A and B are shown apart, each in its own frame.
Chain A
Amino acid sequence: MTIDAPAWRDLPRRPVDAVALEARAKELATRSIKAASQAAAHELTIRCMDLTTLEGSDTAGRVRGLCTRARLPDPEDPECPPVAAVCVYPSLVSTAVEALAGSTVKVASVAGAFPSGQSSLELRLGDIRAAVADGADEIDIVMNRGAFLAGDTDTVVAEIAAAKAACGAAHLKTILEVGELGSYEAIRWASMLAMAAGSDVIKTSTGKIGAAATPPIALCMAEAIREYGDLTGASIGLKLAGGIRTAKQASHYLVIVNETLGTSWLHPDRFRFGASGLLNDVIAQRRFRATGRYTRFSDLPVD
């Protein structure tokens, strides 16, 4: 069933009570994830991970190394599932596509003048089309925060819709860059607009500014996704990026998603972590579960 997205003007613009939102996020963080649930959390964290490298110094060699890691995150454990995707700059998409051929790992590319988005729409759409033409399965764009903060909602929505069209069959993840929006209400409203404009996934942040995903922000966006789903039947994905470095942090986010959106959201089609450092912590925790010994971080792969 394809859902006709409602016009953004028809969507509710909800107030968000910051104190109560943060209290709920804190309460969810008290869930105690142990034993089999903890092992499952580690598996889900890996399966839902976009292994990311977004540096000016990225090379084909660096990306190939990351792709090898993505296929087999723990060289000592062939049972370890692959990550969901590798996320790179557009110029390195073809390298990643080649390196990941025959695997289930998707190729994601940031595109559209990442991370600021401050470029002409034509250039940004061209960036997307080029990445898709090179074989990207998923495109991560940034929302036009300038237009959003100026109140130019039509432009915000129209640009995302144009990006969606440029994506073709590729999945569109729209980055709100929550650290620049100023309030939970703005984050919730931006979430609604991004979904109404056709995004398959809404994403917190680029990782290029200090502020990034936090538990209350994840909760706020998950609540927006839930409401959008109630209104339209659409199941929009959530991607959290920036500052998620430990397996324990990740399992708190899994709790937030599970208790807000339901267990069916604990799936790489609907939930992602954008991270790089997180993987080694999860692998270290998995090895500890398996062997009872903590591994030295220097013994883990650097990619």
Chain B
Amino acid sequence: MNDRSAEPEPLAAAQTFAGYAPAPESTSIVTLADRYDLWIGGEWRPPSEGRWFPTVNPASGEPIAEIAEGSAPDIDAAVAAARAAFDGPWAATSPSQRSRILFRIARLLQERAREFAVLESLDGGKPIRESRDVDVPLAAAHFFYHAGWADKLDWAFGGGVHARPVGVVGQIIPWNFPLLMAAWKLAPALAAGNTVVLKPAETTSLTALLLVEVLREAGLPAGVVNIVTGGGDAGAALAAHPGVDKIAFTGSTEVGRSIRRATAATGARLTLELGGKSAHVIYDDAPLDQAVEGAVQGIWFNQGHVCCAGSRLLVQESIADAFTERLVARMQRLRVGDPLDKNTDIGAINSGAQLARITELCEIAESEGARRVQTTAALPDRGWFFPPTIFTGVDTSHRIAVEEVFGPVLAVMTFRTPQEAIAKANSTPYGLAAGVWTSDGARILWTAERLRAGVVWANTYNQFDPASPFGGMRASGFGREGGRQGLDAYVNLEAAS
């Protein structure tokens, strides 16, 4: 019998192939202005206080453009423009015409997909593979989906009602999926006939500003969407503005709480999509290799800058070592580097501040006794990067098991029985998402019924669809985005007579 463990002399071509020569996506498709103003009432206006701030490419640390720093007077102007559009041209636009405009936005996004994808990666640091294959196609899908509802709203709620727009909507979006979150917010609001003041995240304004070109070309009347860039002050001014009928916020739980205080007893409606520390449960009968991929998708998608990231991995004790070993081996294959390289799996951390927070939480985890395992490949020597990281030996009382890291850091814990898995999974103030892997269909149902989370993924993770409502419970917020349930936040229902 010949020797099945013989080690052949490695081929030079194999090493060359496996290095995957650089495959950078060209940035020539993107034309950046030096400086961007605010988009209010269908025109570009300089910020009232005359201040701009740099937006930085996180993969290089270099500024790429200047963004207007909006403040309270700009929010006033934007809300006034939105109100005028709501009472004027937008009210006069028929539902079927709204539908057509939304379809056009979706089509234009598809036509300019590469441009949006490159800009998203340039400004935010996410790998081009994700901005190209996930962010931009899903953003277009949200506009397509809601274009379908625009002239059928009364039927979205079971009939017998009239669905009326709420009015002027303030939307504050995060930096992890800048264009996609803008789409999640804008599409249902516009489909239902509302007008919008959108406040992009401070570090990632560019794709929202590029979207202005699409909105104009699609024929959206002036003032229907207004974009006020800036920092927390602009967001706070928008959240507290008396002319706003509804606030939709996606971001941190801390800011979400302050917005809830600001909108209390004002009559403004509110939906919040906040943080998470989502549990990802792996039973011992799971399809093992696919579950490893699920864990990878759960925590390392978008550098872990994902509110629903499966950041607490709960593995049944009988397979914990085998599973962790495979996951570590898989982690070592992740390619960290230039976000614009088509073969990059993990791009840049969005900001220096976020990198500092991730670094600190990992140091705390080590000091509390958890064991750190990281990829060993070298990181780029400039820009903000953090290696994919797994913590083993994590106990439920460790901070790394409790606090949201919002980075590529996974806490691995074990459980013995399904009951213990549920108890540990639900032991968190959050309730955004959860995942379960098993090949037993009955166990999927048993587990999903008991997990307290807005979304439960079974044998998959981080899958998004405009027809599927997304949102959390408890400290992860309330309200849904996507599906008929997501439309609900943007309509007032009146009895049909």
Name A's B-contacting residues (CB within 8 A): 1-3, 14-17, 19-21, 23-24, 30-41, 43-44, 47, 164, 169, 171, 198, 200, 223, 227, 233-236, 254, 258-259, 263-264, 266-267, 269-270
Contacts and interface: CB of A to CB of B under 8 A. Distances in A.
Contacts of B133: 30
A188 B17 CA distance: 27
A47 B290 contact: no
Given A30-B129, A35-B21, A258-B17, A14 B287 contact: yes
5 contacts: A32-B23, A37-B19, A40-B14, A235-B5, A266-B13
Interface string B143-156: 00000000000000
B450 interface: no
Contacts of B439: 15, 17
Interface string B268-300: 000000000000000001111111011000000
Nearest to A34: B23
Contacts of A236: 4
Interface in B1-40: 1-8, 10-11, 13-23
Contacts of A198: 1
A16 B290 CA distance: 7
B4 A34 contact: no
A198 B60 CA distance: 53
From B15, B16, B17, B439, name the one whose CB has the most chain A CB atoms within 10 angstroms: B17
Contacts of B11: 44, 47, 266-267
A24 B290 contact: yes
Contacts of B293: 20, 23-24
Contacts of B195: none
B342 interface: yes
Contacts of B1: 2, 164, 198
Contacts of A43: 13
Contacts of B23: 32-35
B10 A264 contact: yes
Contacts of B294: 20
Contacts of A259: 333
A41 B15 CA distance: 10
Contacts of B16: 36-37, 39-40
A17 B287 contact: yes
A267 B290 contact: no
B7 A264 contact: yes
Interface string B313-326: 00000000000000
Contacts of A171: 2
Interface in B444-493: 459-460
Contacts of B21: 33-38
Contacts of B229: none
B194 interface: no
Given A233-B5, A234-B5, A263-B10, A17 B459 contact: yes
Interface size class of B (residues with CB under 8 A): 35 or more
A1 B13 CA distance: 27
Given A1-B3, A30-B129, A44-B13, A267 B289 contact: no
A30 B134 CA distance: 13
Contacts of B121: none
A20 B290 contact: yes
A20 B460 contact: yes
A57 to B, nearest CB: 34
Contacts of A41: 17
A54 to B, nearest CB: 24
Contact of A32 (B2, B342, B459): B342
Contact of B18 (A39, A227, A263): A263
A263 B8 contact: no
A67 B237 CA distance: 78
Given A17-B439, A259-B333, A263-B14, A200 B290 contact: no
Contacts of A40: 13-14, 16-17
B343 interface: yes
Contacts of B13: 40, 43-44, 47, 266
B10 A269 contact: no
A1 B460 CA distance: 40
A198 B286 CA distance: 28
A235 B6 contact: yes
Contacts of A17: 287, 290-291, 439, 459
Contacts of B285: 15
A41 B5 CA distance: 25
A140 B17 CA distance: 28
Given A171-B2, A269-B6, A30 B287 contact: no
Given A15-B287, A37-B20, A266 B14 contact: yes
B3 A19 contact: no
Contacts of B290: 16-17, 20-21, 24
A203 B264 CA distance: 66
Contacts of A21: 287, 289-290
Nearest to B288: A14
Contacts of B343: 31-32
Among A2, A32, A266, A267, chain B packs the most CB atoms within 10 A around the CB of A32
Nearest to A36: B21
A15 B459 CA distance: 12
A20 B296 CA distance: 12
A258 B1 CA distance: 27
A264 B20 contact: no
A19 B23 CA distance: 28
A234 B342 contact: no
A188 to B, nearest CB: 9
A239 B59 CA distance: 40
Contacts of A266: 11, 13-14, 17-18
Nearest to B10: A264
